């Protein structure tokens, strides 16, 4: 009986197949049903395909302006709300004249009723021209279909092509209207294919080295990329292109010149690694830098590819030594605490093992918004016996998981955070982090610190008013006695006694 129907789902029994409890005896094929449409009327935590492409893939690019072809709402919601910081530096040595340009601006065609009736092509054209005029320093212009423009059928590729020539810069259309595909994952897919088809191979890098890599599926959430970048630099590996954290448009154009691709987020970006391998024969390896152990193993694997093991080992030894004391502290505090990871996808399998290995925490539940079969296979591999694996859980299931599996902490997104709090359970933001970066050696300490701070937030011991307590004064006087340092550090004993 690896599949279970939540009590709250008795009216929607189709949810049973999405809820699997790990049983070591099961064959590998047994995983939750996934990547299918959500039951209507659920409080799903999923987003739409537009969110997948702009929010996840392209929003991290630092030197392009985005024109959302939509009524005003999608443009508003599309404004840089992911935590994708960028540096102003471009590959040619220039600097973008606006701080965090990718987070600051968003453009939209602001479609009205008449556009819906007569079509929005003219407005799109005009808006892209205005984009080029308003932000003359951008390298390219990206434009996005949305539900409205998907339904009215505007030929955005045509406009993009025409204007690329007129403006003299790449204008790229992304056709992932909100309704396409069951989740934002569809948007990742569209983003990968569009960027590959339109860009990769179209430009050459200013210089290359024998140690050039593409770092794919790393978006620099809260500075994650910058942590890895530092490691690679030290080892002697050169990140030629990132896809797409803190990257420039041009970097994507010359991804075909790397010697190796690494795929960090394997849900959202394996597509382009495959395409590049297929077309340009550039091999890729899947990597994982969450937690010291994975980070060490994967750095070493990459280093090995380039014969740089010695450098890697030096770095790993040093970093491990640096973090060990704090790691010990957190382990002492967190050993045996239980958790539930509810991520977009891959963090379900990135996190359980390191949290167990380094902090002694037990994962009792995992769930994703948009993972596919391959991901669930990995998840299943990495969680322990009895852990529940849920695909696309909705709000009511969320309550039931808390009731039944009683996690000490939940790692999830902001939509879940506050309801968890209302039910008395701490919650750490895992899509965008609390106080990241979370990747790499020191990043894992940040994660541990945030988990520690959340579980040990004194508030959880004060949730309800207590009508009576033991005589606080008396108790504390007794207890305190032994704890107070007999002499203050800066004060002669005589003086202190005078006061006591």
Footprint of another protein on residues 37-66 (CB under 8 A)? 37-51
- Give the residue, chosen from 13, 92, 458, 470, that forms a contact with another protein under the rule CB under 8 A: 458
CA distance 379 to 199: 33
Q: In sequence order, what DSSP letters do the residues of 87-120 get, joined into one string?
A: -SB-TTS-B-SSTTHHHH--EE----HHHHHH-S
Closest CA to 220 of 467, 436, 460: 436
Task: Give the nearer residue to another protein in terms of CB position, either 9 or 353.
Answer: 9
**Alpha-carbon Rg of the chain, whole angstroms?**
26
- Beta bridge mates, 67: 107, 143
| Eight-state DSSP code of residue 356 | H
Tokens at 479, concatenated: 């207890």
On the 0-12 / 13-18 / 19+ scale of CB atoms within 10 A, 494 is exposed
Q: How many residues bind another protein (CB under 8 A)?
A: 124
Which one of 76-84, 239-247, 267-275, 301-309 is the stretch in contact with another protein (CB under 8 A)?
A: 76-84
Closest distance of CB 278 from another protein, Å = 27
Contact flag: residue 180 with another protein (CB under 8 A)? yes
Q: Which one of 24, 29, 463, 470 is in contact with another protein (CB under 8 A)?
A: 463
Q: How far apart, in whole angstroms, are the C-alpha atoms of residue 47 and residue 431? A: 13
> Rounded to the nearest whole angstrom, what is the least distance from the CB of residue 282 to another protein in the complex?
32
Angle at 276 between CA 68 and CA 302, to 5 degrees: 110
CA torsion 306-307-311-317 (nearest 10°) is: 100
Among 116, 109, 111, smallest CA distance to 130 is for 109
CB of 112 to another protein, least distance (A): 6
C-alpha to C-alpha distances, 150 to 50, 95, 115, nearest whole angstrom = 11, 36, 13
Stretch that binds another protein, among 164-172, 345-353, 371-379, 415-423 (CB under 8 A): 415-423
Helix/strand/coil for 145: coil
Torsion over CA: 236, 241, 242, 243 (sign): negative
Contact criterion met (CB below 8 Å) for 120 and 152 = yes
Q: Is 127 in the site for another protein (CB under 8 A)?
A: yes
Site for another protein in 183-212 (CB under 8 A): 183
| Selected range binding another protein among 120-128, 282-290, 341-349, 438-446, rule: CB under 8 A | 120-128
DSSP conformation letters of 162-181:
HHHHHHTSEEEEE---TTSS
Instruction: Please tell me whether residue 488 binds another protein under the rule CB under 8 A.
Output: yes
| Residue numbers 202-261 binding another protein by CB under 8 A | 222
- The answer to whether 424 contacts another protein (rule: CB under 8 A) is yes
Peptide bond before residue 431 is cis, with ω within 30 degrees of 0: no
477 is an interface residue for another protein by CB under 8 A? yes
Asked whether position 399 contacts another protein by CB under 8 A, the answer is: yes
- Which bin fits 377, alpha (ψ -120 to 50), beta or left (φ > 0)? alpha
At closest approach, how far in Å is the CB of 388 from another protein? 18
d(CA 439, CA 435): 12
Does 11 engage in binding with another protein (CB under 8 A)?
yes
438 binds another protein (CB under 8 A): no
CB of 255 to another protein, least distance (A): 26
Answer yes or no whether residue 130 interacts with another protein by CB under 8 A. yes
Q: What are phi and psi of 208, to 5 degrees?
A: -130, 160
Q: Is 77 in the site for another protein (CB under 8 A)?
A: yes
* 12 contributes a contact to another protein by CB under 8 A: yes
Q: Which of 19, 35, 148, 387 binds another protein (CB under 8 A)?
A: 148
Rounded Cα gap, residues 3 and 322, in angstroms: 44
Q: Does the protein bind another protein through residue 126 (CB under 8 A)?
A: yes
Site for another protein in 369-398 (CB under 8 A): 395-396
Among 23, 87, 137, 151, binds another protein (CB under 8 A): 151
Of 111 and 160, nearer to another protein (C-beta) is: 111
Q: Which of 191, 245, 344, 426 binds another protein (CB under 8 A)?
A: 426
Binding region for another protein (CB under 8 A) out of 196-204, 305-313, 351-359, 466-474: 466-474
Q: Which is nearer to another protein, 83 or 382 (CB)?
A: 83
Q: Which of 19, 58, 75, 298 binds another protein (CB under 8 A)?
A: 75
Query: Which residue from 57, 74, 303, 383 is in contact with another protein, where contact means CB under 8 A?
Result: 74
* Region near another protein per CB under 8 A, out of 304-312, 317-325, 335-343, 432-440: 432-440
What residues from 80 to 119 belong to the interface with another protein (CB under 8 A)?
Answer: 80-85, 98-100, 103-113, 115-116
Please count the other Cβ atoms lying within 10 Å of the Cβ belonging to residue 179: 14
Helix (H, G, I), strand (E, B) or coil at 500: coil
297 binding another protein? (CB under 8 A): no
Q: Which of the ranges 17-25, 36-44, 262-270, 335-343 carries the binding residues for another protein, by CB under 8 A? A: 36-44
């Amino acid at each position: 009986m690896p599949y279970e129907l939540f009590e709250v789902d008795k009216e929607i029994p189709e949810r049973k197949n999405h809820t699997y409890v790990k049983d070591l005896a099961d064959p590998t094929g047994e995983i939750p049903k996934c990547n299918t449409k959500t039951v209507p009327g659920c409080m799903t935590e999923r987003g739409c395909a537009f969110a997948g492409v702009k929010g996840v893939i392209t929003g991290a690019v630092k030197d392009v302006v985005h024109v959302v072809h939509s009524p005003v709402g999608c443009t508003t919601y599309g404004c840089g709300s992911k935590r994708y910081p960028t540096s102003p530096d471009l590959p040619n040595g220039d600097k973008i004249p606006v701080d965090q340009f990718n987070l600051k601006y968003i453009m939209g065609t602001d479609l009205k009723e008449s556009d819906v009736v007569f079509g929005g092509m003219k407005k799109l054209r005009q808006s892209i021209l205005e984009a080029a005029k308003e932000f003359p320093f951008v390298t390219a212009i990206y434009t996005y279909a949305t539900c409205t423009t998907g339904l009215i059928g505007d030929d955005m590729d045509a406009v993009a092509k025409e204007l690329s020539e007129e403006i003299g810069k790449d204008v790229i259309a992304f056709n992932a209207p909100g309704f396409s595909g069951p989740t934002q994952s569809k948007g990742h897919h569209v983003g990968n294919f569009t960027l590959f088809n339109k860009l990769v191979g179209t430009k050459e890098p200013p210089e290359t080295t024998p140690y050039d890599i593409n770092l794919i599926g790393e978006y620099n959430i809260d500075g994650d990329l910058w942590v890895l970048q530092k490691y690679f630099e030290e080892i002697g590996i050169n990140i030629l292109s990132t896809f797409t954290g803190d990257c420039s448009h041009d970097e994507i154009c010359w991804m075909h010149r790397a010697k190796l691709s690494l795929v960090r987020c394997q849900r959202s970006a394996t597509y382009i690694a495959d395409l590049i391998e297929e077309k340009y024969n550039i091999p890729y390896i899947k990597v994982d830098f969450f937690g010291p152990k994975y980070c060490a193993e994967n750095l070493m694997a990459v280093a090995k590819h380039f014969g740089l093991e010695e450098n890697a080992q030096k770095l790993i030894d040093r970093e491990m030594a640096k973090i060990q004391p704090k790691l010990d502290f957190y382990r002492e505090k967190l050993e045996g605490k239980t958790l539930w990871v509810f991520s977009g996808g891959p963090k379900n399998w990135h996190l359980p093992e390191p949290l167990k290995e380094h902090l002694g925490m037990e994962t009792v539940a995992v769930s994703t918004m948009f993972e596919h079969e391959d991901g669930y296979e990995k998840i299943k591999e990495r969680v322990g016996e009895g852990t529940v694996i849920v695909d696309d859980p909705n709000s009511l299931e969320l309550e039931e998981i808390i009731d039944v599996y009683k996690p000490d902490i939940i790692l999830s997104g902001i939509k879940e955070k506050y309801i968890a709090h209302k039910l008395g359970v701490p919650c750490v933001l895992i899509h965008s982090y609390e106080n990241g970066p979370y990747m790499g050696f020191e990043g894992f300490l940040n994660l541990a610190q945030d988990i520690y701070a959340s579980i040990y937030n004194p508030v959880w011991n004060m949730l309800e008013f207590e009508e009576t307590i033991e005589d606080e004064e008396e108790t504390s006087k007794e207890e305190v006695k032994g704890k107070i340092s007999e002499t203050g550090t800066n004060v002669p004993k005589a003086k202190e006694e005078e006061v006591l």
